[in-house]
Amino acid sequence: MKKFILLSITVVWFSLPAFSQFRVKPVEKKELHPEDLSEEAVDKLRNSQTVFFYRADDDLAELRRALEDVWTISELILIPYAEAGKTDLRGKSFFIIEGLRTVTTQYTTVDNSYVFLHLYMDLTDKKGKDFKQTYARLDLFPTEEAMKEMSLKDEGEIFDYLYGNAEINNWTPGFLRNYFRNINDLLERGEGKGLYEGKDEVPAISGMAGKTLYVPEYVLEKKSKMYGLVSGSHDPERLMKNYPYPYEFKSASQISDSITAGEDFYYLVFTRSSSEKYFTVYHSTTGEIVFNRYKPMSYNLKDSDLKDIAKSVKKMQKRAAR
């Protein structure tokens, strides 16, 4: 008797619903390089107003303090998502959440989603054809509960949810501050950074040997490899067993508050997009990325990942001592 495996995959882009002035359309997932951005495109951005649609539970005053002094390439305007439908984006650049949702059925149904913040601007090429210029993409990490809720909603409802009650692990004023700082500085310098580009030989990482690494508590949640479902939690000591330097677990909001307060430390940001993971270490006050690693087909932060960070600290310490 022949056995058949039933497998079906549904792929859906979700992007901002059509308004009178615009529609945000998804772009293919790829690495962006400096040559993908012309000087003309960067000049257009520089001379524009950049709109950032903020979420319902964001504190506007706190966001202003976090973002306005690090976003210097253009004038930053903060607008509530509730007013997106009546916002004229002609001639403006804008940050907007969008994503890709994949539903796979094989014995059971698995719903995986990529959620990201994109920086776009509508431009016209030399032939007079309109196109949407992508400047930057930032991967977001909704909580497991948020992902479950998204799977029950249609496209329009997903946006209301993401900009409303959804909890996103790496969406805090402090985290956004250093995300925006890095995007701004790369654009100002005319440099690019690919999504999958690693970084482990930054001289400043040697300073981690004598400073505390703040680790967000959400990294302790584990997902199963087979179905991507929550499968328990890490033991904090076992997770950090290969990291010999000072560290402390804190909530993302506590780390964010310390960043915006100007405290001097390093912090880890872990992001999972479907079956891919990124883990990055930032310096809190300068925003410098001192370590970055991308690993496909991996759901959870592991003790070996912290070992990789520790190796980099040790290597750069030795190099500095020469």
In this prediction, residue 21 carries a pLDDT of 23
Give residue 28's pLDDT band: very low, low, confident or very high (50, 70, 90).
very low
Contact between 186 and 202 under an 8 Å Cβ cutoff? The reply is: no
Q: What is the mean pLDDT of residues 50-70?
A: 96
Q: What is the mean pLDDT of residues 23-49?
A: 65
In this prediction, residue 155 carries a pLDDT of 75
Contact between 291 and 283 under an 8 Å Cβ cutoff? The reply is: no
Higher model confidence: residue 224 or residue 303?
303
pLDDT by residue (tens digit) across 246-276?
Answer: 999 999 999 999 999 999 999 999 998 777 8
Q: Would you call 189 helix, strand, or coil by DSSP?
A: helix
Across the chain, what does the average pLDDT equal?
Answer: 83
User: Among 35-44, 177-186, 266-275, whose mean pLDDT is lowest?
Assistant: 35-44
pLDDT by residue (tens digit) across 88-119?
Answer: 999 999 999 987 766 555 555 555 677 889 89
In this prediction, residue 289 carries a pLDDT of 93
Higher model confidence: residue 82 or residue 276?
82
In this prediction, residue 38 carries a pLDDT of 83
Question: Residues with Cβ < 8 Å from 223, sequence gap 6 or more?
Answer: 144, 229, 230, 231, 272, 299, 300
Sequential DSSP letters for 204-244: GGGGGGSSPEEEEGGGGEEE-TTT--EEEE--HHHHTTT--
Contact between 60 and 83 under an 8 Å Cβ cutoff? The reply is: no
